[in-house]
Structure 1
Amino acid sequence: MMSNPSVPIADPVVLTERRDGVLVITLNRPAVRNAVNKALADAVDTALTDLEHEAELEVGILTGAGGHFCSGMDLKAFPGEGVPRVADRGLAGLTRARRSKPLIAAVEGAAVAGGFELALACDLITAADTAFFALPEPARGLVASEGGAIRLPGRLPHHLAMEMLLTCCTLAAPDAARHGLVNHLTGQGKALDAALALAARIRANAPRAVRVTRQVVAATRGLDDHTAFTVQDPLTAPVFATDSAAEGALAFCEKRPATWTVPPDSAG
């Protein structure tokens, strides 16, 4: 049966693009500043699953269409859909997910409420100098429960983080960069370019070493040094026996770029 040409076809709520081992995931509800409803949450979760399981994809970038990153949970959909979590992986399948590959947030415009929590769940953040961050949940009778109240005090000076959490004030991207929350500050419209440049720098390194480094950071956060080494060593020891470890040493000695094994190399 032919489709009715008079009925408009809705744009996908999430766009994905593969660029040389990088998966660019674009939130695509610009009319509502890319607010997260169930459809968008499920689509982001699917894209993150592809990133996790496709060997040729090494780095992900999360960004937004229409000049904004994300305005958080779609409050109009909330009464019917609830918080758009996906299984045990949190908001949009990201905020509580256990990931193995680096993810970069490329922020333009608003990254507020759950949108800010999505950015905080990423490993790196690039932002335009016109971007801004906020956690206004208490002003809506809610709590920043998808990582905002947990992660922000570890990313900013404590009292600044508490001011954002308790007063719902906005933090401009230049101030966020000054406090180390943003890795690279760019001109308007250039956050994605900066994220792609970061991704290329990550991809120059051995994929397994990158993944295990992320794993160590996640597994040892908050532990004392003795316990941290006990947790770390079983994770890192196999890396030293991989083909990539041998290739990295040889490439250094021969003063040439290393050639890494993809899919992940074997130990021994």
Structure 2
Amino acid sequence: MTYITTETHGHILTITLDRQESRNAFNRAMADEMEQIIDDYEADTELRCAIICAKGPTFSAGQDLKAALKGEFAATPKRGGFGIMSIPPEKPLIAAVDGQALAGGMELTLCCDIIVASEESIFGLAEAKRGLVAIGGGCFRLPHRIPHNIAMEMVITAEPKSAQDMQHFGYVNSVVKSDQVMGEAMRYAELIARNGPIAVKASKALAYRSATEQWTDEQAWKEQGPIVQPMMSSEDRIEGMKAFAEKRDPVWTGK
């Protein structure tokens, strides 16, 4: 079965979770689908940004626990949990959340760079309620994204937070009405897609690694060189400067 559908809008890929009968919980087949979609997204030079959204009232309830009881875990050898958690895409990824993002569902949003949520949405790491641990990145990624004491509260009480609270803590970028979530996510995606794709990819890598590896300034000056080198030697760099000088929109080739 196909549990995830995709659609392209110019340079933007929309990834839609569609396993509504199980609250968009992931089994192994769904994880395999996600990994292939992310691999294809990375390989397609025409695609510059992707949006993850979902059908139904639940963004994702995480791991399919019924499947897990049978020994079937939603992880792939290459990208790990849900086919994305260990190795998220190097290109930008936006979460468009309308409903519950719980347990692995919230950890899926931790793989994203920008998060848009409806006013009714909630986020939570519910694993401890089931005697489990958030091993999809929740316990070590969330403290880098919001204040440490709030992250600890979410991890050890397993109580969810509203979209408004998560925006206040800096986790959610925009909170909008339910029927505006995809429009707001697309607005961000279009802003990203208009930029030089090589520069965006390098910028994401530099920001991500400097934060997660906790570089000092001295380390950052040293480490950023190899990361930005593809941009420095690209045709797009010349095109960007020429377009500015000629007062026109740049035409990116990704080269």
- The normalised TM-score by structure 2 is 0.95
Tell me the distance in 1 between the aligned counterparts of 2:81 and 2:230.
33
Matched, 1:246 2:238: yes
Change (3 A) 1:88 1:237: closer
User: After the TM superposition, which residues 112-151 of structure 1 pair with which residues of structure 2 at under 5 Å, given as runs?
Assistant: 112-151=102-141
1:7 is matched with: none
Partners of 2:229 and 2:112 in 1: CA distance: 26
For 1:236 and 1:64, how far apart are their aligned partners in 2? Answer: 34
The root-mean-square deviation of aligned C-alpha atoms, in Å, is 1.3
Paired with 2:45 and 2:233, the residues of 1 have a C-alpha distance of 20
CA distance in 1, matches of 2:177, 2:98: 10
Displacement of 1:163 in angstroms is 0.6
Does the 8 A contact of 1:34 with 1:64 survive in 2?
yes
The CA distance in 2 between the partners of 1:169 and 1:245, in whole Å, is 47
Q: Point out where structure 2 has 5 or more consecutive residues left out of the alignment.
A: none
Of the three residues 44, 47, 55, the one matched with 1:54 is 44
How many residues in Structure 1 have an aligned counterpart in Structure 2?
253
Task: Please list, as runs of the form range in 1=range in 2, the aligned pairs for 1:154-165 lying within 5 A after superposition.
Answer: 154-165=144-155
**Secondary structure in 1 matching 2:199:** helix
State the distance in 2 between where 1:139 and 1:69 align.
19
Query: In structure 1, what is the Cα distance between the partners aligned to 2:46 and 2:40?
Result: 10
- Cα offsets for 1:204-251 (capped at 9, x unmatched): 100100111112123333111111221111221342232211111122
Q: Which amino acid aligns with 1:165?
A: V
For residue 142 of structure 2, what is the aligned residue in structure 1? 152
Asked if 1:109 corresponds to 2:88, the answer is no
In 1, Cα distance between the equivalents of 2:183 and 2:199? Answer: 25
Letter in 2 for 1:138: A
Q: Is the contact made by 2:52 and 2:94 (CA closer than 8 Å) also made in structure 1?
A: yes
Q: Given the alignment of the two structures, is residue 226 of structure 1 paired with residue 211 of structure 2, yes or no?
A: no
Deviates more, 1:23-32 or 1:250-259: 250-259
Task: Determine the C-alpha separation between the residues in 2 that align with 1:58 and 1:25.
Answer: 13
Residue 29 (structure 1) aligned with residue 29 (structure 2): no
Structure number with larger C-alpha Rg: 1
8 Å contact from structure 1 (residues 22, 59) kept in 2: yes
**AA aligned opposite 1:162:** M
Q: Secondary structure at the match of 1:197?
A: helix
Other structure's SS at 2:58 match: coil
1:258 and 2:246 are equivalent in the alignment? no
Amino acid corresponding to residue 141 of structure 1 in structure 2: G
CA distance in 1, matches of 2:95, 2:19: 17
Residue ranges of structure 1 left out of the alignment (5+ in a row): 1-9
Quick check: 1:219–1:232 contact (8 Å CA) kept in 2?
Answer: no
SS of the residue corresponding to residue 75 of structure 2 reads coil
In the TM superposition, structure 1's runs of 4+ consecutive aligned residues that sit over 6 Å from their partners are none
The aligned counterpart of 1:63 is 53
| 1:125–1:183 CA contact under 8 A, matched in 2 | yes
C-alpha distance in 1, partners of 2:78/2:37? Answer: 16
Question: Residue type matched to 1:251 in 2?
Answer: A
SS in 1 for 2:51: strand
Deviations 1:85-118 (A, max 9, x none): 1113121111111522111111010000000000
1:190 deviation in Å? 2.2
